[in-house]
């Protein structure tokens, strides 16, 4: 099972993609990465790594494993949590990056929990809504979740590991059926991390 890292940061990743993406697209990703870095600030992931690493890992999956070169999809991958996890609004994303990027970010952003619904119910409804998402949004979501679960055993809370494994199997693996590379990766992941449920 291949894993993806972005510990080296954006400059090194950018240099490694110079033969895959035109300079104009790399410059567009410069802007998206700077925007995400500014908004996420010093946020970290549950295992303690800088938040930006997760965003760049998602983009790396799309470029290096799936062969995506669409700059809007890659920018959406870098920006996919900026509305959900910071004070940034979708209108700001639209203003800086255009309608298509904003639409992709919107698809993968969990909406606020409606009154009268539990967080679990709202989360399940959000994941169900992805069944009608456009293919490009599904790609962003699959890359996002891959980054989240590829090292699931490093999450500090065992109960969260189990819940996230179960949710991924139930709601994300069916989305991966559309894409051969993701389908194969998630199949391997499912087997490797099944032990978390025991």
Catalytic residues: 84-85
| Calpha distance 23→110 (Å, rounded) | 32
Tell me which residue has tokens 């802007």.
Answer: 31
Answer whether 149's CB lies under 8 Å from 164's CB: yes
Q: Give long-range contacts, CB 8 A cutoff, 24+ apart: 182-188.
A: 182/66, 182/142, 182/146, 185/1, 185/2, 185/65, 185/146, 186/142, 186/146, 188/1
CB 136 within 8 A of CB 104: yes
* DSSP letter assigned to residue 87: S
In angstroms, rounded to a whole number, what is the distance separating the alpha carbons of residues 147 and 99?
25
């Amino acid at each position: 099972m291949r894993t993806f890292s972005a510990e080296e940061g954006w400059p090194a990743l950018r240099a490694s993609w110079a033969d895959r993406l035109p300079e104009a697209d790399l410059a567009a990703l410069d802007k998206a990465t700077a925007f995400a870095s500014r908004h996420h600030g010093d946020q970290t992931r549950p295992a303690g790594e800088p938040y930006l690493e997760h965003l760049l890992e998602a983009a790396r999956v799309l470029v290096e494993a799936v062969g995506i070169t669409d700059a809007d999809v890659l920018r959406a991958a870098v920006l996919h949590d900026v509305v959900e996890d910071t004070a940034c609004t979708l209108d700001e994303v639209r203003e800086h990056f255009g309608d298509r990027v904003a639409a992709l970010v919107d698809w993968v952003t969990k909406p606020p929990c409606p009154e009268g619904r539990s967080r679990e119910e709202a989360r399940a409804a959000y994941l169900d809504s992805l069944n009608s998402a456009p293919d490009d949004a599904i790609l962003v979501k699959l890359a996002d979740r891959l980054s989240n679960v590829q090292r699931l055993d490093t999450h500090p809370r065992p109960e969260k590991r189990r819940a996230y494994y179960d949710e991924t199997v139930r709601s994300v693996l069916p989305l991966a059926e559309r894409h051969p590379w993701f389908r194969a990766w998630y199949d391997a992941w499912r087997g490797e991390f099944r032990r978390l449920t025991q």
